[in-house]
Amino acid sequence: MKCARCLLQLQRLRPAGQSARSAAQYGALPQSPYASHMLHNTQLQVLRRFHGSPARVKNRPVPAEFINEDDKKRDKSLVAHDDLFERVDKESRTKATFNKVVDVFIKADVRRRGHVEFIYAALKKMPEFGVEKDLVVYNKLLDVFPKEVFVPRNFIQRMFNHYPRQQECGVQLLEQMETYGILPNVETKVLLVQIFGEKSHPMRKYQRLMYWFPRFKHTNPFPIPQQLPEDPVDLARFSLTRIANDLDAAVTVYQLPCTDITESGELLTLPHIVGIQGPSQMELLAKHNPSRPVFVEGPFPLWLRKTCVHYYVLRADPLPPEEKVEEPYDPERCLVYPLQLDLDLDRDFGDEESFDVEDLDEGPVFAMCMTSQGDQATLNQWISGLQQNNPILGQVPTLFRLNAGPKELQGVGDTESEHHRKPEQETQREERQPEEEPEVLEEERPRRSHGMKQ
Amino acid sequence: MYPTNVSWDWLCNAARGEQFLREAGWERSAEPPAAEVLQESLQEARLRQGPVPGSGEQGGGLPYPEIGNEEVEEINQLVAPVERFFNEEVDSSKIDREAKIPPETLNGLKELGLFGIMIPEEYGGLGLSNTMYARLAEIISLDGSIAVTLAAHQAIGLKGILIAGNEAQKQKYLPKLASGEHIAAFCLTEPGSGSDAASIQTRAVLSEDGKHFLISGSKIWISNGDMADIMTVFARTEVLVDGVKKDKITAFIVERAFGGVTSGKPEDKLGIRGSNTCEVSYDNVPVPVENVIGEVGGGFKVAMNILNSGRFSMGSSSAGMIKKLIAMTSEYAATRKQFNKSLSEFGMIQEKFALMAINAFVMESMAYLTAGMMDRPGLPDCSLEAAMVKVFSSEGGWICVSEALQILGGLGYTKNYPYERYVRDCRILPIFEGTNEILRMYIALTGMQYAGKILTAKVKEMKKGNIGTVFSMVGKKLKDTFRSSVDLGLTGKDGVVHPSLAESAKKMEQNIYLLGLTVESLLYRYGKTIVDEQLLLKRVADVLINVYAMTAVLSRASRSISIGLRNHDHEVLLANTFCTNAFFKNNYLMTQLQKHSPENDDANIKKIAREVLENRAYVCSHPLERTY
């Protein structure tokens, strides 16, 4: 049980980026656990190969000069593997080069010396190589672990935390997959079984991932595609249909973005204007009292994954209660049955199904639009476009209540997005972690007791 | 003669279900003289109500409507040639194939006088009663296209002139309509308006000289639209009500000869293909003011009356069709052999025949009971009963026709046999003349309105928590639990039902009693908002329809057994079987109507529908989908 808790604490200790440090720590005191394992591993031929004494290093074959260079450095420091990745050009950091580095490591030493450090370093470098969402790469990384070595052989091993560093490293790898929302596959499972055995911590982690991930896959009833449309018009179309959530609503492109050169030689950029309006909104607008103004308001932000778009609405104030008119009951309306009963009885309290919530009348929204340029002139163009189908807009006073345009906002967002997002994510993670803690502990408890029984 | 020892208060509770019982004559006569007066007046009318002399005490007073001997002979004389004509001259498969009734067939129908069955003799029609009309409808329905053509002509097309027209209009139009020289159509439905009168767009504007209305607009799905010479058209007119200008519906007689009437391409339909259905457009058709049916602005009532009076005949039509199908399929079942056994020996085939027989019997009983009630003097309003007949027979007809096809299996599915045509023709029944859904609303709400008037005071007392009312309610409930069964006096010494049907009558009594309680609790729970509870109303309507059907079969079978009609034992068998079945159905429906009943999953049904409709698609993931 202590081992499990240790493992957990270790996991918590390492939020991001200091894997190298921790690896160094582990590297500093390898002797004692190794020695103790050596005792009962001596009879195992397979294992002996891996746990060979430092004295045998000189007998090691020297396959490539690449490794030779590496060797020199490793003598000095254990951050060498980080270096391995660092050596790849900033420009050419791709999946192919990442795989190459891993291949180099695998081929370098048949004993895979320092594989834990290597994997930590690799995990850290994955986003830089743009492979943080690639399952194949994770499996390849997992493949770096030597097989069958860490599988517990007897009940005592099984009871205690067998090869904690390696197990923890495996868990860390799976955790990174979890962070990026990558679902492991059967290959991952096979590798984990080969490396750590059926009931190891990484295996448990895998099982937990497989339990929750599929269940949460469709929790969002309004999924956002991984790849958002690039074209601003398409993006606007997508966002507007998403906000309106009305299958009848029609998207109209009032103006396509284009750049023109005027006669005087000036560069003229026309912003795109995309609007949406449903038939029920049209109906509402047609009924609108022309003496009351309608408002164009905005911009309001809408976040789609990591992009922020802005939209504008055309709305009116809610009707004051004295102006609300209920349609009078017309007994000569339905040809077959009475639409109202002439009874003096109301619904019984016990069958009242409406909840007593404070109903705040927000006023109708008649239409929405998105544009890249939120000034009054552009929005006026939208309103005049709307007027074709909603003639009443010609009589109604239209007021523009615009906040600071999205232009600066977006400009800031574009340049700072990288900086901005990082801390945001981190704060999110920090917030989330304390919440997760009790949950994880809850999760652990039954498993531990289960382990004890065995 | 009539049971006098029963308390009928419960029945007043039991919605308007009570009224048809009363109209069927099962009413306690508080004052015997009144009953006698009623009886005399009835004898004066063509129908004889009350005891048949010499038919014994039991069931002697059964009120199943009868017609006089002369009339029986008259109708038999009339039926024979019509039947012969339909068997020999009418080629239904050709009519279906070519989607047209040949002119010689139409001429034959005209010669038989079938275009003016209910038009009085002084206008050149046959002047038959509703009962006789129902009898003829049995035969006419053997061809769906002809039945619909004739029904559109006289059940709705010229009905407006008949029931609301003035003498001059009758003189002018009825003779030619009765002879079939002119064909009538009923033009109400519009692209945007089915049963919603408020969305009628066709407009009639008074011309400047005040002598004409100019009608503009278009009507869709007009039966006989292409060949009609005289049309009953409903249009919006401006009327002054209390000094305020208002739009109201007015009915007009429009002749095609007025000009400006154009009809569109005939619709290509699933069934009743020989009948002509098309769009009719009016472009400033000048209609003289004297062609207004009833009053200007009074068209809504006219339309409602026409529609209400046209429905009752569907019962006998369906029954006629099923009777014919029974004859045809039983021939097949008796000759077709499988495993050295004829089909008729297999239980599942037998079940189908029993089903058809029971359905035909019930429809017939309901249709003629209703027709008889309508034939009483004073033009009684039987729209509720007619609606019940329509709903029951259109749905029963559909099931029976499809089962008949099933008996023949693959053969029935081919065009070599008429079954597939019957199935196609039959599908229109639940749709036209008011869909069954909307008619169920009518049935249930009429009942609720009636019950509500009586019960409002009581329910209010209960809601106030009046101790006295509550105690008396509890006392009543306790008494009911101790009493073994409900006795409403249908059976027993003074009962009106024959002892061989006593069991069934008891079941009906129980149903009616429970219905009373159910309706009361519904009113308590929902009050006037019951209008929005369609799922509940549907069940109330179904129970009412079943109870009316039980009334009809019990009454008919009692009469048959009492006067010794041929094969009355078979009728009793059918009646008892139907009543047992309906009893269970009713009990189930009424259990569903109880609060917190586990059988009632309305909330789930509504939720499913809501989720599906939000997506406008089937919501579930495909079973082959996976998430990992």
Q: Which of A42-46, A103-107, B91-95, B496-500 has the lowest mean pLDDT?
A: A42-46
* Mean pLDDT score, A55-71: 43
pLDDT of residue B259: 92
pLDDT at residue B517 tops 70: yes
Chain B residues with CB inside 8 Å of A344's CB?
A: 456, 460, 528
Q: How far is the CA of B183 from the CAs of A374, A452, B231, B267, B371, in angstroms? A: 66, 93, 8, 19, 25
pLDDT tens, B201-233? 999 999 999 899 999 999 999 999 999 999 999
Hey, are the CB atoms on B449 and A343 less than 8 Å from each other? yes
B448 contacts chain A (CB < 8 A): yes
Catalytic residue among B433, B509, B520, B571: B433
pLDDT tens, B137-195? 999 999 999 999 999 999 999 999 999 999 999 999 999 999 999 999 999 999 888 88
pLDDT tens, A355-373? 777 777 788 999 999 998 8
* Mean pLDDT score, A342-351: 83
pLDDT of residue A71: 44
pLDDT at residue A44 tops 80: no
The residue extents of the domains of chain A are 81-217, 232-323+362-402
pLDDT at residue B29 tops 50: no
Higher pLDDT, B87 or A42: B87
Chain A residues with CB inside 8 Å of B192's CB?
A: none
A339 contacts chain B (CB < 8 A): yes
How many contacts (CB atoms, under 8 Å) link A and B? 98
Hey, are the CB atoms on A345 and B197 less than 8 Å from each other? no
DSSP state of B141: T
Hey, are the CB atoms on A337 and B442 less than 8 Å from each other? yes
Spatial CB neighbours of B488, under 8 Å, sequence gap ≥ 6: B6, B8, B10, B11, B509, B512, B513
Q: Which two tokens stand for residue A242?
A: 């998403």
Chain A: residue whose CA lies nearest to B521: A348
For residue B530, the distance in angstroms to the closest alpha carbon of chain A comes to 8
pLDDT of residue A243: 92
State how beta strands B337-338 and A307-316 pair.
Answer: unpaired
pLDDT of residue A405: 57
The Cα–Cα gap between B558 and B364 comes to: 15
Find out whether B252 and B287 touch, Cβ atoms under 8 Å.
Answer: yes
Nearest C-alpha neighbor of A145 from the set A193, A182, A186: A193
For residue B556, the distance in angstroms to the closest alpha carbon of chain A comes to 29
Hey, are the CB atoms on A345 and B452 less than 8 Å from each other? yes
pLDDT tens, B76-94? 999 999 999 999 999 999 9
pLDDT at residue B417 tops 90: yes
Hey, are the CB atoms on A346 and B616 less than 8 Å from each other? no
* Mean pLDDT score, A33-61: 42
pLDDT of residue B496: 80
| Residue among B445, B456, B463 whose CB faces A337 most closely | B445
% of chain B residues with pLDDT over 70? 89
Find out whether B223 and B245 touch, Cβ atoms under 8 Å.
Answer: no
ipTM for the whole predicted complex goes beyond 0.90: no
DSSP state of B19: H
pLDDT of residue A226: 85
Q: Which of A35-44, A312-321, B391-400 has the lowest mean pLDDT?
A: A35-44
pLDDT of residue A12: 55
pLDDT at residue A444 tops 80: no
pLDDT at residue B438 tops 90: yes
A337 contacts chain B (CB < 8 A): yes
* Mean pLDDT score, B458-482: 75
B198 contacts chain A (CB < 8 A): yes
Hey, are the CB atoms on A345 and B459 less than 8 Å from each other? yes
pLDDT of residue A316: 92
Burial class, A50, CB count within 10 angstroms (exposed 0-12 / middle 13-18 / buried 19+): middle
Q: Which of A109-113, B421-425, B525-529 has the lowest mean pLDDT?
A: A109-113
| Residue among A185, A336, A344 whose CB faces B438 most closely | A336
pLDDT of residue A190: 96
Q: Which of A320-324, A390-394, A431-435, B490-494 has the lowest mean pLDDT?
A: A431-435
| A 208-237: CB under 8 A from B | 210, 213-215, 217-218
pLDDT of residue A5: 56
**Which helix (H) or strand (E) element contains residue B284?**
strand B277-288
* Mean pLDDT score, B526-547: 94
- B486 — pLDDT class (breaks 50, 70, 90): low
pLDDT of residue B152: 94
Nearest C-alpha neighbor of B374 from the set B134, B203, B140: B134
pLDDT tens, B351-364? 999 999 999 999 99
Residue B208 falls in the annotated catalytic set: no
pLDDT tens, A266-320? 777 888 999 999 999 999 999 898 999 999 998 899 999 888 999 999 999 988 8
% of chain B residues with pLDDT over 90? 70
- B467 — pLDDT class (breaks 50, 70, 90): confident
pLDDT of residue A11: 54
pLDDT at residue B327 tops 80: yes
- A25 — pLDDT class (breaks 50, 70, 90): very low
Cα dihedral B493→B497→B503→B508 (10° resolution): -120
* Mean pLDDT score, A88-102: 88
pLDDT of residue B484: 58
The Cα–Cα gap between B428 and A195 comes to: 71
pLDDT of residue B43: 35
pLDDT at residue A15 tops 90: no
Q: Which of A371-375, B382-386, B546-550 has the lowest mean pLDDT?
A: A371-375
Hey, are the CB atoms on B449 and A334 less than 8 Å from each other? no
pLDDT at residue A176 tops 90: yes
pLDDT of residue B569: 94
Nearest C-alpha neighbor of B432 from the set B341, B348, B291, B317: B317
Q: Which of A83-92, A185-194, A434-443, B556-565 has the lowest mean pLDDT?
A: A434-443
Identify the residue among B529, B532, B536, B615 best suited for mutation to test binding to A, counting A beta carbons within 10 A and taking the highest.
B529
For residue B242, the distance in angstroms to the closest alpha carbon of chain A comes to 16
| Residue among B195, B249, B528 whose CB faces A341 most closely | B528
For residue B257, the distance in angstroms to the closest alpha carbon of chain A comes to 29
Higher pLDDT, B488 or B94: B94
Mean pLDDT of chain B: 86
Higher pLDDT, A61 or B466: B466
pLDDT of residue A320: 83
Mean pLDDT of chain A: 76
pLDDT of residue B58: 31
Higher pLDDT, A356 or A60: A356
For residue A330, the distance in angstroms to the closest alpha carbon of chain B comes to 9
Hey, are the CB atoms on B438 and A337 less than 8 Å from each other? yes
DSSP A179-230: HTTPPP-HHHHHHHHHHH-TTSHHHHHHHHHHHHHHHHTT--SS---SS--S
pLDDT at residue A434 tops 90: no
A247 contacts chain B (CB < 8 A): yes
Chain A residues with CB inside 8 Å of B526's CB?
A: 347-348, 351
